[in-house]
Amino acid sequence: MKIDRVATAAQHYKDQKSYRTLDGREVLVGLDWQQRKWELFWRCKGRCEYMITDEVRCAREANDAHHKTPRSKGRNDKLSNLQAICRHHHRAIDKRQPRWTPKEVTA
């Protein structure tokens, strides 16, 4: 992955580990990621953006930032790729599994 140093410098990121790639994706870390989440929750006014039907939006409080294109498919922390949703819908969308598997106990 190549980093666009000119665009990265122009962004004036707060954390030196944050950067922009040549294809336009942003990877934010630390204070930059916190700032992006604040912008996201400001955009949705603190309410979950998950659409239950075409006209009905979830009424719960938004407390998670969901990547529309998963981080594993090319991380992009641009505001247009993020959706503020409640934990209930975040788990339902991601179908989260534990990241660890318990070891089998042998007798």
Mean local confidence (pLDDT), 2-19:
76
- What values do phi and psi take at 81, rounded to 5? -95, 0
Q: What is the pLDDT of residue 78?
A: 92
Half-sphere exposure of 44 (CA within 13 A, CB side): 28
pLDDT band at 65 (very low <50, low <70, confident <90, very high): very high
Q: What is the pLDDT of residue 10?
A: 67
SS3 1: coil
Between vectors from CA 39 to CA 96 and to CA 66, what angle results, nearest 5°?
15
Is it the case that residue 104 has pLDDT exceeding 70? no
Which residues partner with 83 through β-bridges? 66
pLDDT band at 91 (very low <50, low <70, confident <90, very high): confident
User: CA 69 to CA 28: how far, in whole Å?
Assistant: 15
pLDDT band at 13 (very low <50, low <70, confident <90, very high): confident
